[in-house]
Amino acid sequence: MDNEPSYKDKKVISIGVVSELTGLTERKIRYYEEKNLIFPKRSKGGYRKYSFGDVERLMDIADQREEGVTTKEIKQELSKKERKEQKQKMIRGQLNAQFGIQKK
């Protein structure tokens, strides 16, 4: 259960529901996937499945697009943010290992 994703990260929401929640068209949501801004999982039947985190990211992307930010700029910012988070995670892991702290 330790490695199980939180409810926010579970990919269980269909594209139709995501469209209703965000106000974005299904076509626009697929476009953002093509631009590698979101990464839905696929069901066995090939249907896209999104998480609540994906919904939040899509709403953030939509807000930025309304402000005139390009998808390329959004992608660059997301990449920078993810690298920073990975670096922080690595440092926490090193500190935990150094001081013998075990994750519960």
**Domain residue ranges in the chain:** 13-99
Amino acid 8: pLDDT: 84
pLDDT over 90 (residue 2) = no
| Prediction pTM value | 0.76
Of 1-5, 26-30, 35-39, 78-82, which gets the smallest average pLDDT? 1-5
DSSP string of 7-75, one letter each residue? TTT---EEHHHHHHHH---HHHHHHHHHTTS---EE-TTS-EEE-HHHHHHHHHHHHHHHTT--HHHHH
Fold type of domain 13-99 = Multidrug-efflux Transporter Regulator; Chain: A; Domain 2 (1.10.1660)
As a whole number, mean pLDDT of residues 58-68 equals 96
pLDDT over 60 (residue 104) = no
As a whole number, mean pLDDT of residues 80-100 equals 87
